[in-house]
Amino acid sequence: MKTYKLLSPSVFFLIIFCFILPFVSVSCGGSKITTVSGYGLAFGTKVDSGFGASERSSPDFNTLLIWSCAAAGFVFCFVSIKSQKLLKLALSIVGTILLIILMLRMTGDISKEGITFTVNFEFGIYAVFLLFIAAIIINYIDFKNTEGIIETYPLDIIEIPCPNCKTTNNSIDLFCKQCGSKLNIGDK
């Protein structure tokens, strides 16, 4: 149970970490011109625009939001607030949706000054995608478990009458506190 508690912050931390990996590469006529990491996309980076020239790319708000979802999810693992688990689950889902939007936006060729550039996804973006799916699963199970405890706890301790002397006993007792008869637990 203790090790399971570490899964949720770990997966968010790994997503943040994976932003240093290459996310996309741009190629022209089959040869790779430049590779951009997640941080490069999110905060802007010096991009080789081909033919020896380089320019600074502007920060991509979409990528920045994905990073923020993971960062906020990581922070909420250590901040005890109401509906903390629901919030972490929501952040995992929103992060995944934003990442799908980013990938759809970047699919396809870009034409610039008559030259066609092809954008390819690199392993960093796939790693982040898989980690977000893992985050949804982990945080969903975590959220579902807490809900289950709240729902079933009052049902576990109910009062049941003794079949012999009709004394009221708790359902967690095996024998009647009055006469010692075996209580019919399964029968309610």
- Candidates 165, 170, 172, 175: give the one binding Zn ion (CB under 5 A): 165
Taking the C-alpha atoms of residue 173 and residue 175, their distance in angstroms, rounded to an integer, is 6
The one segment of 57-65, 80-88, 131-139, 170-178 that binds Zn ion by CB under 5 A: 170-178
The one segment of 94-102, 103-111, 143-151, 172-180 that binds Zn ion by CB under 5 A: 172-180
DSSP code string of 135-186: HHHHHHHHHHHHHHHHHHHHHHS-EEE-TTT--EEETT-SB-TTT-PBP-ST
Tell me how far CA of residue 15 lies from CA of 8, 28, 92, 131, 155, in angstroms.
11, 29, 11, 6, 39
Taking the C-alpha atoms of residue 26 and residue 182, their distance in angstroms, rounded to an integer, is 75
- Candidates 179, 182, 184, 185: give the one binding Zn ion (CB under 5 A): 179
The one segment of 28-36, 37-45, 94-102, 154-162 that binds Zn ion by CB under 5 A: 154-162
Asked whether position 176 contacts Zn ion by CB under 5 A, the answer is yes
Asked whether position 162 contacts Zn ion by CB under 5 A, the answer is yes
Asked whether position 181 contacts Zn ion by CB under 5 A, the answer is yes
- Candidates 146, 164, 170, 184: give the one binding Zn ion (CB under 5 A): 164
Taking the C-alpha atoms of residue 60 and residue 4, their distance in angstroms, rounded to an integer, is 34
Smallest distance, Å, CB 157 to Zn ion? 18
Asked whether position 27 contacts Zn ion by CB under 5 A, the answer is no
Tell me how far CA of residue 10 lies from CA of 5, 13, 49, 132, in angstroms.
9, 5, 36, 12
Q: Which residues make beta-bridge pairs with 31?
A: 28
Is the distance from CB of 93 to CB of 136 less than 8 angstroms? yes
- Candidates 107, 168, 170, 178: give the one binding Zn ion (CB under 5 A): 178
Smallest distance, Å, CB 155 to Zn ion? 23
Asked whether position 185 contacts Zn ion by CB under 5 A, the answer is no
Binding site residues, Zn ion, CB under 5 A: 162, 164-165, 167, 176, 178-179, 181
